[in-house]
Amino acid sequence: MSDSRLAPAYGGPGWRPRNTRSQDEFGSIWARCGLDSEWLPLKAVLVHRPGRELDAAAGDPSASLMLDQLDPSAMAIQHDGLAEAYRAHGVDVTYVQPPALPPPNQLFCADLFAMTPEGAILGRPASTVRAGEERWVAQALTEMGVPILRSVRGGGTFEGADLMWLTPGIALLADGLRTNFEGASQVKAVLEELGVTVYIAKLPHGSMHLMGQLRIVDRDLAITWKGHLRQETLAILASHGFNVAFWPDEMETRRGFGHNFVTLGPREILMPEGNPVTQAFYEEIGVTCRTVEVGEIGKAAGSIGCLTGVVERERSND
């Protein structure tokens, strides 16, 4: 009850309390954003078209975490093809456009944030080569109107490709090369505040991200490498209703980044061209494959999944 002796600013007549929840304000105050799965229809993505920053990788690609000499022009053309493939599927594409020259790996937006049902968690890349990329993604998310729930801080490192949603209330979070214990603890705290149960997955030596070890293409279907994930992680997947399939040709799949796809919707993916054995395997297990040429981008040690910061998917309660 308001006090008639007070002005509205102090709770008197005319004061209007904000009784909505933050998610109720998506589409009005905030942009439509958020997700609670890895497999429901994709709605919006954030990407960065590679440009002059790749000049830093010339001469010594490994110093910039690249695998081989790059052709920046070819990479930009292939990135344009990827963006067009998303638009053709009805996905909104927004670009990170830094006002200054960014670090050379800025194109790998999936590492720089992770979405929750209520907004983004901003990453903090683990390598000095990538330090500062998160600043430009933070700017882009803010300009889009996406709320940022937390920026990983202190000595914590976290890359968005280390978080995966198993169900709307359950997430798998990696502890490994790119996400350390301090960073994982900060992300876990945010998720638990949202009511999410978080499992920690220890990644095998030599792994970059959880994304490179496990992909989810439907509510009950996940794909991984045979013998890579720990038995406790496989048991978590089984306990939440997942059937697990295994990539059949590790050499082709790794060389062509056939595992580095984005799920467009239930049992439908966008994957790199040039992986015939891997694509046939997906089709045999009932997955529809859309393909795009990204071979030159693969020389930078990533592909479609790494390039794509997922901003919105349909929700389980939509």
The average pLDDT across 4-26 equals: 91
Residue 5 is predicted with a pLDDT of 84
Mean of all residue pLDDT scores within the chain = 95
Distance of CA 118 to the CA centre of its chain: 15
pLDDT in tens, 291-316: 999 999 999 999 999 999 999 999 98
Residue 85: DSSP 8-state: H
Distance CA 181, CA 178 (A): 10
| Segments of 81-203 assigned E as strands | 92-95, 113-116, 119-122, 148-151, 163-167, 170-175, 197-202
The average pLDDT across 123-132 equals: 97
Using the predicted structure, report yes or no on whether residue 18 has a pLDDT greater than 90.
yes
Specify burial of residue 277 (Cβ count, 10 A radius: 0-12, 13-18, 19+).
middle
pLDDT in tens, 256-286: 999 999 999 999 999 999 999 999 999 999 9
Closest CA to 266 of 37, 39, 35, 44: 39
Residue 163 lies in a domain: yes
CA dist 236 → 160, 166, 183, 197 (Å): 20, 9, 22, 12
Residues written for the chain: 318
pLDDT band at residue 2 using 50, 70 and 90 as cut-offs: low
Count up the domains in the chain and report the number: 1
Residue 131 lies in a domain: yes
Using the predicted structure, report yes or no on whether residue 317 has a pLDDT greater than 80.
no
Residue 164's CATH number = 3.75.10.10
Closest CA to 277 of 243, 242, 244, 251: 251
Residue 296 is predicted with a pLDDT of 97
Distance CA 296, CA 285 (A): 28
Residue 76 lies in a domain: yes
Residue 79 lies in a domain: yes
Residue 26: DSSP 8-state: B
Using the predicted structure, report yes or no on whether residue 1 has a pLDDT greater than 80.
no
Distance CA 211, CA 110 (A): 10
Using the predicted structure, report yes or no on whether residue 16 has a pLDDT greater than 90.
yes
What is the extent of the structural domain holding 202?
32-208+294-313
Residue 318 is predicted with a pLDDT of 61
Residue 118 lies in a domain: yes
The average pLDDT across 20-32 equals: 94
Q: Is 211 helix (H, G, I), strand (E, B) or coil?
A: helix
Residue 162 lies in a domain: yes
How many percent of the chain have pLDDT more than 90?
Answer: 91
pLDDT in tens, 55-105: 989 889 999 999 999 999 999 999 999 999 999 999 999 999 999 999 999
Residue 269 lies in a domain: no
Residue 3 is predicted with a pLDDT of 66
pLDDT in tens, 133-184: 999 999 999 999 999 999 999 999 999 999 999 999 999 999 999 999 999 9
Residue 316 is predicted with a pLDDT of 81
Distance CA 46, CA 30 (A): 16
Residue 89 lies in a domain: yes
Q: Which residue has the higher pLDDT, 186 or 249?
A: 186
What is the spatial order of strands in the sheet that 92-95 belongs to?
A: 92-95, 42-47, 309-313
